[in-house]
Chain A
Amino acid sequence: MLFNATTKVATRKLILPWKNWKHALSSSATTIPSKISTNTNTNTNTNTSTSTSTNSNPSEVDKFSSFAGHWWDSRANPLIGMNPTRIHFIQQVLTATCHKTSDAPSPLYDKRVLDIGCGGGLLTESMSRLGASSVVGVDASSRVVEAARRHSFHPFSGLRSADDEAAETSEKGTIRYIGGTTVEELSRRWASRRQRGRRRRGQSEISSSCDGGLERDCDHDAEDEDDHCELFDVVTALEIIEHVPDPESLLRSAVSLLKPDGMLFVSTINRTWKSYGLAIVAAEYVSGRVPVGTHDWNRFWSPAEVRRMICDVEHGTSNGSGNNIGNDNGNGSEIMNECQEKEYVMKQVGLSGMVIQPPFFNLKWSLDPLDTDVNWIGAYQKQQLQS
């Protein structure tokens, strides 16, 4: 066993997929299961407004927090091996949709990126090295994010923190980690900051600069020196939606943080018999590559289901508040109503499976567009509706 099972979930009840067998047989399920029939320890604060319940599962967070020390050990953490393949897909899609404004060296150049569920910072660091101007990593576990900070901002890494004083003058991109929060809370906080900023500048400016100007109207208080509440060009939610109680709300917040023409990347594991055999039985029990209890088969999502969650749900406007429009106060909602002229839709622009090449024991991943039966990654773009 590569991993010493120090997690609390040592004895795991083998959740049998009988209850969702209909969805298992067809990998492109047409209905989203109405109920997730597992032991969800959702921390539901019974408030009347749904926006204040935290979309994180404390036992899941603990699982990953205890793994924090091994996050950067490539012999213990299989995510490191998947990183080159995921980055390859992201760059492939971004290049194909011609996101390069100038003769940039890489499609991520000078882009703002948000990494949801950043963990130890694997993807975050890669994006920063590939030229992103500002990368923000969010994770519900503060321990893991602390480990990410220790790794990324170590002098040997050569990466720059957003809190660095020299960051302003350097041309290199910066990284910021925000731990212990969910992306819903983050999007709410930043939306309210944006509203405050807009209010401060007065309404007349807003109406003239409505189209695409929202990302510039940000809070330039003394306490936030850089425009870190701006919207993002790229949002990645890789291997996260199978670990949260309410993936829809996570995806809604992710979409709300996207700029127009921004790209959302989601990767997870499909819910099929094959994925049960490979990702649960083979990976956790037989080979021990993944700690037992990491994944819950009932929380896996198929590409069609995720596409529904993202594309077919009404997202409203790109005003930044993903959940509710009228939450904070009356003044804000009036301003936002003026900007509801432009409608945006999410369209799936890329989908690929990730498969392990033979020989299977050394975990060499590659992209296979035809095989999304186990791991898969998709790209969704926020496109303007032609009005």
Chain B
Amino acid sequence: NCCGVYDSMQVWEHDGPAQLHFVGEDLEGAINEGRLVNLQQLLNDSTSNKSTGRKNRPWLGAVIEDAPFVSAVWDELRKDDRIDLLDKIQVKSIKAPNHSDMGKIEPPPPVDITCVRKGVNDEGEEFTISSNLLVAADGANSFIRRTVGTFPMITRSYGRMAVTCTVELDTSKSRMGMARTAFQRFLPYGPIALLPVWNSVDSSSDREKESGPIYANVVWSTLPSEAKYLLSLSSEEFIAALNEYLCQGPNVNPSLLPDSNQPGGPPAIPLLSTIVREIDSLLRTANTALTMGTWTEAPTRNFFRMPPRSKKVVGPIMGFDLTMSHVATNGGYTSPRVALVGDAAHTMHPMAGQGLNLGMGDIHALASLIKEAVDSGMDVGGTNLFLDRYNEERILKGWGILGGVQFLHEAFECTGSIPGSITEHENATSVGSVGGLKGLIGYSRSLGMNAVNGIAPVRKALAEVAAGASPRLFP
């Protein structure tokens, strides 16, 4: 059991009072209607026989460790005789048919993959595999995609780097509510996320509750300069920075006017400033009221929980660039006899956790189409039929999720024009010193977050989209 299951997710902003609180029950509607697989039931949540009420809650999602997951999948594949697994192979060249080969009376040639088996001396014999369909699942920097060459991509860097590591949480205060909640706080330049890992332990250890360390993953997206600064810190300093920036609750919205104790002159137009001040206090009151209103609604769900403090870093701290990429053309996920899935086709900001979800969706769609082709006795790559259907199903979703993540990125002002970055923190004035349009955006964002949080159907719909449930046809 190497995954971290979570049954609630708490998202809040640094300069506003609002928060979003997703729980596993939000997905129950979709599960009951059959639009989403009930993973919990499927995996027979082994900790469900515990007496604590918390353990039985429905899952919202899981954080999966890559290496054990991949090796488990390989073990499953090895069991089937019809699958040939070749490892330690280097692909030398790929020869795929052109667009002009399709649609003719003569069937298109199969795709030829020339490989070299890595021998003892690093030199092996070449051999060629011919295939009806080549699936490129080799990640963001896909060799297949670059070699076949017919996949123009649109790439844009977010201008951010993500710093990630695993930490051990400080369990001295209380263990309740820590093990299965994911936290994400939006800072000026990007979110900082604390995700539970390795918490679905076997029921063999009955005293899991009392003993044993709790671990979590940290994903901190921010400017490259700040990310490099974080990477250069020692582990104690990193923990201190982490605790300081994560473990703060929601704030008040910055006002539309600069504060009176700010070095800014008296407003130029007194009447306008009075109006703005009134609007300001109205919005602020509305926001705070909404936020407090949701707190009293369902006490188990909506009050703000302070995320746990971390104790120490376990393992290395790594940083990587964040870019957005997607295929540029309409039929872009496929080329004759070649299909891209997952990160080879699209990458995005990790803030909503959608990259892997989209990849899984791609794989599911492609696998169903391959199955349909084989069941109908047709060559899956011989005509454009199946690959065109794959494109139709997935490209719109890819662009949609990419757009959604971009919207979040901009709505939470991670494009970052608010002063108050980490390196300036000591010099910065108080947070509520932003005025004008950005203040308005801040208010509307807080209002929007409160609305989504409070209106259950909207919140559930958002959770379903993130979980990859099929949409309801007749709402």
B105 interface neighbour in A69, A76, A88, A126, Cβ under 8 Å: A69
List 30 A–B pairs whose Cβ atoms lie within 8 Å, in order of A's numbering.
Answer: A68-B105, A69-B104, A70-B103, A72-B103, A72-B105, A72-B107, A72-B383, A73-B102, A73-B103, A73-B383, A73-B384, A74-B384, A74-B388, A81-B385, A83-B376, A83-B378, A84-B373, A84-B376, A84-B378, A87-B376, A87-B377, A88-B376, A120-B105, A127-B377, A130-B377, A154-B107, A156-B107, A156-B108, A157-B107, A364-B389
Asked if B125 lies at the interface with its beta carbon under 8 angstroms from chain A, I say no
Per the 8 Å Cβ criterion, residues 79-133 of B in contact with A are 102-110
Q: For the side of the interface on A, what is the size category?
A: 20 to 34
Contact call B377/A74, Cβ cutoff below 8 A? no
Output the least CB separation between A366 and chain B (Å). Answer: 11
Is the C-beta of B202 less than 8 angstroms from some C-beta in chain A? Answer: no
0 or 1 for each of B368-399: is its CB under 8 Å from A? (1 = yes): 00001101111100111100110010000000
Flag if A126 contacts B106 (CB, 8 Å). Answer: no
The answer, among A147, A157, A362, for a CB contact under 8 Å with B379, is A157
Task: Tell whether, in the assembled complex, residue A128 and residue B377 are in contact, meaning their CB atoms are under 8 Å apart.
Answer: yes
**Residue from the list A70, A75, A125 in contact with B377, Cβ < 8 A:** A125
**Neighbouring A residues of B378 by C-beta, 8 Å:** 83-84, 125-126, 129
A72: which B residues are within 8 A, CB to CB? 103-105, 107, 382-383
Q: How far is the CB of A135 from chain B (nearest CB, A)?
A: 11
Give A294 Cβ to nearest chain B Cβ, in Å: 19
A151 at the interface (CB under 8 A from B): yes
State how many angstroms separate the Cβ of A107 from the closest Cβ of chain B: 12
> A216 on the interface (CB 8 Å rule)?
no
In angstroms, Cα B388 to Cα A114, docked, is 30
Contacts of B104 in A (CB 8 A): 69, 72-73
Residues of B within 8 A of A64 (CB): none
Docked complex Cα distance between A157 and B297 (Å): 65
Q: Does A19 sit at the interface, judged by CB under 8 A?
A: no
Is the Cβ of B384 less than 8 Å from the Cβ of A75?
yes
Contact partner, A75, options B105, B106, B110, B388, Cβ 8 Å = B388
A76-89 Cβ-contact flags toward B at 8 Å (1 or 0): 10001101100110
Q: Judge whether B389 and A362 touch: CB under 8 Å.
A: yes
Is there a chain B Cβ closer than 8 Å to A150's Cβ? Answer: yes
Distance, CA A130 to CA B374, complexed state (A): 9
The chain A residue sitting closest to B108, CB to CB, is A156
Closest A residue to B103 by beta carbon equals A73
Q: Is A276 an interface residue (CB 8 A)?
A: no
Residues of A within 8 A of B108 (CB): 156
Determine if B377 and A154 form an interchain contact, defined as CB atoms under 8 angstroms apart: no
**Chain A nearest Cβ from B78, distance in angstroms:** 23
Distance in Å from the Cβ of B472 to the closest Cβ of chain A?
A: 14
- A347–B271 CA distance with the chains assembled, in angstroms: 89
Q: With A and B bound together, what is the CA distance between A382 and B385 in angstroms?
A: 35
Within the complex, the shortest CB–CB distance from A84 to chain B, in Å, comes to 4
**Interface pairs A-B: 8 shortest CB-CB:** A73-B103, A129-B377, A126-B377, A84-B376, A74-B383, A74-B385, A130-B377, A87-B376
Q: CA–CA, A126 to B110, complex, Å?
A: 18
B24 to chain A, nearest CB (A): 31
Docked pose: A154 CA to B105 CA in angstroms: 10
Minimum CB–CB distance for A67 against chain B, Å = 11
- Measured CA separation A157–B104 after assembly (Å): 13
Chain A, range 33-87, C-beta contacts under 8 Å to B: 68-76, 80-81, 83-84, 87
Contact among A125, A150, A156 with B110 in the assembled complex (CB-CB below 8 Å): A156
Please give me the residue from chain A that is nearest to B369 by CB atom.
A84
Neighbour of A80 across the interface among B109, B110, B383, CB < 8 A:
B383
In the complex, which residues of chain A have a beta carbon less than 8 angstroms from the beta carbon of B106?
A: 150-151, 154, 156
Query: What is the minimal beta-carbon distance from A245 to any residue of chain B, in angstroms?
Result: 28
Enumerate chain A residues within 8 angstroms of B385, measured Cβ to Cβ.
74, 80-81
Contacts A73-B383, A81-B385 given; 12 further ones with Cβ under 8 A? A69-B104, A73-B102, A74-B103, A76-B103, A87-B375, A125-B377, A126-B376, A126-B378, A129-B378, A147-B105, A151-B106, A154-B107
- Which of chain A's residues has its CB closest to B110's CB? A156
Contacts of A76 in B (CB 8 A): 103
**Could you say which residues of chain A place their CB within 8 Å of the CB of B105?**
68-69, 71-72, 120, 147, 150-151
Q: How long is the Cα–Cα vector from A126 to B106 in the complex, in angstroms?
A: 16
Query: A84 contacts B383, CB within 8 Å?
Result: no
Q: Of A69, A71, A75, A88, which contacts B375 at CB under 8 A?
A: A88
B109's partner among A73, A83, A88, A156 (CB-CB below 8 A) is A156
Residues of B with C-beta under 8 A to A83: 376, 378
- CB-CB under 8 A from B376, the residues of chain A are 83-84, 87-88, 126, 130
A47 to chain B, nearest CB (A): 37
Chain B hits for A73, CB < 8 A? 102-104, 383-384
Interface set, chain A 142-178, CB cutoff 8 A to B = 147, 150-151, 154, 156-157
Question: Residue of A at shortest CB range from B384?
Answer: A74
Q: Complex formed: what's the CA distance from A128 to B377 in Å?
A: 8
What residues of B have a CB within 8 angstroms of the CB of A75 in the complex?
103, 384, 388
Within the complex, the shortest CB–CB distance from B373 to chain A, in Å, comes to: 7
Q: Give chain B nearest CB distance to A173 CB in angstroms.
A: 11
CB proximity of B298 to chain A, nearest CB, Å: 37
Chain A, residue nearest B392 (CB): A362
A154 to B109, CA, bound (A): 10
How distant is the Cα of A317 from the Cα of B110 in the complex, in angstroms? Answer: 48
Considering only CB atoms, which chain A residue lies closest to B383 in the complex? A74
Interchain nearest-CB distance for A206 vs B (Å): 38
Bound: A88/B392 CA distance, A: 22
Q: Nearest-CB distance from B432 to chain A (Å)?
A: 49
A150 vs B102: C-alpha distance when bound (angstroms): 15
Closest to B130 in A: A156
Which A residues are CB-close (under 8 A) to B103? 70, 72-76
Q: How far is the CB of A36 from chain B (nearest CB, A)?
A: 33
Instruction: Specify which chain B residues have a CB less than 8 angstroms from the CB of A362 in the assembled complex.
Output: 388-389, 392
- Bound: A76/B103 CA distance, A: 8
Q: How far is the CA of A69 from the CA of B392 in the complex (A)?
A: 26
Query: How many Å lie between the Cα of A88 and that of B103 in the bound state?
Result: 24
Task: Looking at the assembled complex, report how far the CB atom of A75 sits from the nearest CB atom of chain B, in whole angstroms.
Answer: 6
